[in-house]
Structure formats: C-alpha cells, structure tokens
Amino acid sequence: MTQGALTILGLETSCDETAAAIVRLSDAGVEVLADRIASQTEAHALYGGVVPEIAARAHVERLDGLIRLALADAGETFATLDGVAATSGPGLIGGVMVGLSTAKAIALARGLPLIAVNHLEGHALSPRLGAAVAYPYLLLLVSGGHCQFIAVEGLGRYRRMGSTIDDAAGEAFDKTAKLLGLDAPGGPAVEREAESGDARTVNLPRPLLDRPGLDMSFSGLKTAVRRAASESELTDRRRADICASFQEAVADILATKSARAMQRFEDDHDGQRTFVVAGGVAANRMLRARLEAEARFAGFSFFAPPLRWCTDNAAMIALAGAERLRAGLTDGLDTPARARWPLDQDSAPAYGGGKKGAKA
Ligand code: KG4
Ligand code: ZN
C-alpha cells in the first residue's frame, strides 16, 4: 500500500441505484478499486416514476451483497479499510437511511471512521475520479433534481452562482420522455430518439436566455413539448424530431449560460480557467460536445467524468469520503439522514451574497 494512502468504502442509496465502491486516495492520485451498482429501473417501470418505498426495500435487499462483491473485487476486507462513507442526503429519505445505517453499523462494528457525504458533493468531485482536476473549478451540476453553476473552490467550499428557478434539466428530460411515451430513464431514451430526428423542425423556447445572470428555467420547455406532441399525429418521425429539438434547446440554454458563467468565474478567480460538468445529464453526448466547444472558445480546460460516473454511483461517494477523511472531517454515529441538504449550506456564503434557500 502507498504510504499515506486511504482506502474507503462508499455507499450510495439516495434514489434508485444501489451502489458500493472502494476508492484509494494517495499522493499518486485516485484509484477506483471496485465499483458495483444495481439499478432498480425495472422495479419502478410499472409506475412511471421512482416509488420511494419500493426503492428503500430494494436497497435493503441488495446493499449487503454489493458490499461483499466490492470487497472481493478490490481484494480488501473490512479490516483493511480506513473508513466508510455513505450518502446521507439529499434524496429519498428511506433509501438514504438504508445506506447511512449500514455505514454506521460497519463503522461501529469495525471501529472505522464514518464519513457522511452530501450526494451533491459526490457529483461535484466526480470529475476528479478520472482525471487530476485541480481546485478551483467552475462546475455545472446537471442531474435529475439539480441544475446549478457552482464555484468549487476547495473541499467543502462551494459557492452557488446560479441555478434553475423551476425544473432541473434531468427532470425536463424525464418529463419529455414520459409525454412522448418513452421508457424510463428519460434522458438516455430522449438522446437515443434524437439521433434520428431533425432539431430544426419543432420550434421550442429558450427561457431566460434574454435575461442577464446565471439562473435557468426549463418548465416552459416541457409545456411547449406537450403542445408539440398534441399538435399533429405522434409518428416515430415526429417523436424523433421533438426529441432532437428538445435536446438542442436544453443544450442551447446550458451552453449560453455556461459561457456567461465561465466569464464570471474567471473574473472572480484570478484568471483560473477550468470548467467541469457532472451529474446524470452530463452523460448526454451532444451536450458534452457543446459544452466542450464552449469551453475551448473561452480558453478553459474542460472535464466531464466518464459516462458511468455521471449518473449516480458509489465511487464518487467513496472519493468524497476519502477527501474528507484526509482533511480530518468525520461524522458521529448520530449524524442524521437528510431529505434536503443544499450543497453550499454551512460551507460558504451564497455567491455574491445572493439569497439562501433557493431551490438546491
Ligand atoms: O445524477 P443522476 O443519476 O441522479 C440524480 O442525482 O438526480 O441523474 C439522473 C438524471 C435523470 O433525470 C436522467 O434522465 C438524466 O440524469 N440522464 C440523462 C442522460 N442520462 C441520464 N439526461 C440526458 N441525456 C442522458 N444521456
Ligand atoms: Zn445524483
């Protein structure tokens, strides 16, 4: 083992993925030793969305087995770990409790430090899993529940620069998919359909682009998609065209706001120029290409995690746990599971003294 290396087990159970991973953090960098995930997509398919009770039960059934597999993959045992990290919010509370309680049990039984990780911090640090991305960097966090620009100034130092004022980008993908009768998860389904569609055929709005600032809005887009879907017969061709037009509208909004955010980030951070995108929607290839082009144009280096670390996973939780442990930040066994937990709360003031409590 490298001197000073930390080997951490991470657990993720905040939504509909049950995951366990083992990450080693050392002076040499980050190594993902094991990365196990069990998706619950099929369990929720009948209901048109994630059912919290079904999700929590599935986490209970699967988590122990995934931990065993992760330990075997990594060639580790509980005795060789340096700590155990779990998502402790935000998310579906029943699921979060399963992962956090499991981590507490392991910590107590094995005398290991417990690290309670904010799921959003996991996403925020996820680009560091696959590349040496140095602080500070500008983060566009785009997931099913969140859409925010965040200045990541260091571990635990996050300043929100702008966010959606209504739906998250991933939520817009999911609602669009549902409206068009596509299977969950919506993002990949819309992306697949969009490949054979023509983005110029359906005229969709780009809300808030005409206004200054970094806030975003996606709910008008969903309404426009509903109208487009009912205007004429929903043939395969029409469905693909709506998907392509929708994806292009989301990419336009995110790319335009990203250009603005990069300018502001650079001004406020001594000319530092690193831009990263993370979260489930960052798995969208067309969006990644658009953001990369925008970054190149602005003279920023660009990082996006490999696709499997964009959507929910435990490797990002293990990495956040390892970074926290290295900084001496551990949590007591009485630490609560939280349904809501804004990333910048208790870590840095809202950007530019902006209002707290905006949708996290
Ligand atoms: O980060 P994530 O796995 O879970 C949350 O923390 O929310 O993000 C899930 C979201 C879903 O809304 C899903 O539809 C979206 O990410 N997503 C995508 C793609 N893959 C997942 N959106 C667009 N294109 C994709 N390829
Ligand atoms: Zn997530």
What pLDDT score does 353 carry? 34
What pLDDT score does 334 carry? 97
- The residue whose CA has the least distance to atom 16 of ligand 1 is 280
Amino acid occupying residue 150: I
Q: What is the DSSP-derived secondary structure letter of residue 152? A: E
Three-state secondary-structure class, residue 106:
helix
- H or E stretch at 221: helix 219-231
User: What are the angstrom distances between the C-alpha of 7 and each of 3, 72, 84, 327?
Assistant: 11, 14, 9, 14
What pLDDT score does 2 carry? 47
| CA-168 nearest atom, ligand 1 | 12
- pLDDT surpasses 50 at 226: yes
CA dist 237 and 239 (Å) reads: 5
Whose CA is closest to 203, among 227, 178, 235?
227
- pLDDT surpasses 50 at 185: yes
What pLDDT score does 41 carry? 86
Q: What is the pairing mode between strands 137-142 and 274-278?
A: parallel
What pLDDT score does 83 carry? 98
- pLDDT surpasses 80 at 177: yes
246 in ligand 1 pocket by Cβ < 6 Å?
Answer: no
145 in ligand 1 pocket by Cβ < 6 Å?
Answer: yes
Share the mean pLDDT of the chain: 93
- pLDDT surpasses 60 at 246: yes
Position with higher pLDDT, 31 vs 185 = 31
Least distant ligand from the CA of 250: 1
- pLDDT surpasses 60 at 321: yes
CA dist 322 and 162 (Å) reads: 28
What pLDDT score does 3 carry? 54
Mutation test of ligand 1: which of 120, 125, 143 has the most ligand atoms closer than 8 Å to its C-beta?
A: 143
Three-state secondary-structure class, residue 15:
coil
User: What are the angstrom distances between the C-alpha of 19 and each of 39, 306, 339?
Assistant: 8, 17, 19
| CA-186 nearest atom, ligand 1 | 14
User: What are the angstrom distances between the C-alpha of 105 and each of 55, 98, 111?
Assistant: 20, 11, 10
- pLDDT surpasses 70 at 271: yes
Q: Is the peptide bond before 136 cis (omega within 30 degrees of 0)?
A: yes
Q: What is the DSSP-derived secondary structure letter of residue 149? A: E
Give the tokens for residue 207.
């809300």
91 in ligand 1 pocket by Cβ < 6 Å?
Answer: no
What pLDDT score does 174 carry? 95
What number of other Cβ atoms are within 10 A of residue 352's Cβ?
Answer: 10
83 in ligand 1 pocket by Cβ < 6 Å?
Answer: no
User: What average pLDDT does the segment 93-107 reach?
Assistant: 98
Rounded to the nearest angstrom, the distance between the alpha carbon of 280 and the centre of ligand 2 is: 7
